[in-house]
Each structure stands twice: as structure tokens, then as C-alpha cells.
């Protein structure tokens, strides 16, 4: 029974630690990229809305 359980454990000597770290960094990078894209799209929408409001106020003043 005990030898069967030992197969479940990870052998960290084969580079699994390095692969795990690299995988974690890739996931962090992907999440950061998504957050940056979301933040940029929100700012773009705000800029477009402000520009539209300025154009409307300029047309009312003219």
C-alpha cells in the first residue's frame, strides 16, 4: 500500500520546480495583460465620452 502512495508524490529533481515557477509567471503575466487591456478600454471610453460632452457643450454655446 505504501509504495503505491509514493507514486502520487512529485519528484522535484526533474525540473518540476522550475516548470512550476515558469508556469506561475506565465499565468501572472496573462492576468496582468488582461487587466491592462481592461483598464485601457475603460480609459478610452471615458475619453470618448468627455470628448463627446465637450463637442455638445461647444455646439450649444455656438
DSSP states along 1-62: -HHHHHTTS--GGGTHHHHHHHHHHHHHHHHHHHHHHHHHHHHHHHHHHHHHHHHHHHHHH-
Please tell me which residue, 32 or 8, carries the higher pLDDT value: 32
**Please, are residues 10 and 16 in contact by the beta-carbon 8 Å criterion?**
yes
Instruction: Judge whether residue 32 has pLDDT over 90.
Output: yes
pTM of the complete model beyond 0.85:
no
Return all residues near 16 (Cβ < 8 A) that are at least 6 apart.
Answer: 10
Comparing 7-11, 12-16, 35-39, 46-50, which segment has the lowest mean pLDDT?
7-11
CA dist 14 and 11 (Å) reads 6
Per-residue confidence band for 30, with pLDDT thresholds at 50, 70 and 90 = very high
Amino acid at each position: 500500500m505504501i509504495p503505491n502512495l509514493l507514486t502520487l508524490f512529485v519528484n522535484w529533481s526533474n525540473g518540476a520546480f522550475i516548470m512550476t515557477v515558469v508556469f506561475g509567471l506565465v499565468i501572472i503575466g496573462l492576468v496582468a495583460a488582461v487587466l491592462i487591456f481592461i483598464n485601457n478600454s475603460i480609459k478610452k471610453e471615458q475619453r470618448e465620452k468627455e470628448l463627446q460632452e465637450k463637442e455638445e457643450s461647444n455646439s450649444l454655446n455656438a
